[in-house]
A = this chain, B = another copy of it.
Amino acid sequence: VDSSNLATIAEIAAALGVSKSTVSRALRAMPGVSPETIETVRRTAQEMGYIPSGAAVGLSTGRNHAVGVLVPALGRWFFDSVVTGVGRVLAAQGYDVVLFDLDRTVGEGARVFVRSILRRRVDALVVVAMMFSDEELAEFALLDIPIVAVGPPTAGVRTIGVNDAAVMTAATEHVLGLGHRRLGFIGGYDNESPSVVSPAEREHAFMTTAMNAGAVVEATWMLSGRYRCARAREVAAPLFRSASWPTAMVCASDEMAIGVMLAIQEAGLRVPQDVSVIGVDDHELAEAFDLTTCRQDPQAQGEIAARQVLAEVDGAPRLDAFPPADFSLVVRGTTAPPHGSR
């Protein structure tokens, strides 16, 4: 027990000749403490370099003033934005964010985090775009703390996020409206990260909308880019070097849209003259690439999630479902009527 040289509440009490309780109350400005004592205590606390011990407070009150944030990985716009949003409201309320980057956990003793990682160090949990096993959900239940998910619907956890079907339908209808009838799609599908929730609705909504409009969607035009720019570029490259390609690519994320654009250009084709490209997110780079997209605001979603769990930690009634988050079509320069049309 190497508790450095930081002052404790007892020490400042001794120095002032008052009781620990008085100091404790004064420090927290509780009702029923004379303004003078409150002043004196605060000042000497300051002078003595007092910093409360989170552990002691936590043990005593049962509140850790910290919420856990589980992300599949850092470095992706959506996840980062959510964490930023969550962090913003938590900081404002004096809560810490304990970050769990599950990326590294996968593979090893994989995801035994509930028991081994979150040892009641957090008062609530915000999880981003992840799937959980029944076991994990059971442990969450045991933990008995507010949990909300952000992103695509997470089984077993209430989720805040956009309506993926609506978003994709809007994107698809935009290019259909421009006259495109040869449509391609790139989504995140594959079994690489089974624990990361992929918005399944997106592919489905694209297909349905395209089919209903009588558009042509060849099997080879349905790509999987794992939501990464580089990966999208790789898988799209052969398509645009082949003999038959779509005149519009509907992408489930802006990162993939950018990758697709790169592939298109490398193949000697131009956007939007030869191929239109539309994404989803309004990523920070979307404007720089003049990318048409369906804007959503993950930071705001994170803020909503954080506010809700904090409210519940403070005794607010549990909210069972969130209304879908906002999104809106942002038309820029990567979509245009297909070549040859007017």
Residues of A at the B interface (CB closer than 8 Å) are: 1-6, 49, 51-62, 64, 66, 69, 73-75, 77, 80-81, 83-84, 87-88, 91-92, 94, 96-101, 103-105, 115-121, 142-145, 229-230, 233, 259, 262, 284-285, 287-289
How far in angstroms is the closest Cβ of chain B from A81? 7
Residues of B near A115 (CB, < 8 A) are: 51
Contact A97 B98 (CB under 8 A): yes
Given known A6-B120, A98-B99, A288-B262, contact A84–B73 (CB-CB < 8 A): yes
Establish whether residues B4 and A66, one from each chain, have CB atoms under 8 Å apart when the complex forms: no
Q: Is the CB of A84 within 8 A of B101?
A: yes
Taking CB atoms, residues of chain B closer than 8 Å to A142 are 5-6, 49, 51
A75 near B80: Cβ-Cβ < 8 Å: yes
* A150 CB to nearest B CB, Å: 14
Contact of A81 among B57, B75, B83 (CB under 8 A): B75
- Interface of A: prevailing SS: mixed
B91/A104 in contact, CB under 8 A: yes
Cα–Cα, bound, A87→B88 (Å): 20
B84 and A96: CB pair below 8 A? Answer: no
Chain B residues contacting A103 (CB-CB under 8 Å) are 84
Asked if residues B83 and A99 are in contact (CB atoms below 8 Å), the reply is yes
Q: Which of A2, A84, A121 has the most CB of B within 10 A?
A: A121
For the complex with contacts A4-B144, A74-B83, A84-B101, 10 further pairs of A-B residues with Cβ separation under 8 Å are A4-B145, A6-B120, A55-B55, A74-B87, A83-B99, A88-B101, A91-B104, A96-B100, A97-B99, A262-B288
CB pair A53 B119 closer than 8 Å: yes
CB distance from A253 to the nearest CB of B (A): 14
Q: Name which residue of chain B comes closest to A145, CB basis.
A: B4
Task: Give chain B nearest CB distance to A216 CB in angstroms.
Answer: 29
Complex-state Cα separation, A84 to B60, whole angstroms: 33
Pick 15 A–B contacts, CB within 8 A, sort by A: A6-B120, A6-B144, A49-B142, A51-B115, A55-B64, A55-B120, A83-B99, A84-B104, A87-B99, A87-B101, A88-B101, A94-B116, A98-B98, A230-B284, A262-B289
A143 proximity list for chain B (CB < 8 A): 4, 6, 51
Instruction: Tell me the bound Cα distance from A91 to B104 in angstroms.
Output: 8
Q: Which of the listed residues A80, A84, A105, A119 has the most CB atoms from chain B within 10 Å of its own CB?
A: A119
Contact B84 A74 (CB under 8 A): yes
Q: Roughly how many angstroms separate A3 CA and B94 CA in the complex, as a whole number? A: 21
| CB-CB nearest in chain B for A81 | B75
Residue of B nearest to A104 (CB): B88
> Closest Cβ of chain B: how far from A105's Cβ, in Å?
6
Contacts of A58 in B (CB 8 A): 54-55, 58
B121 engages A230 (CB within 8 Å)? no
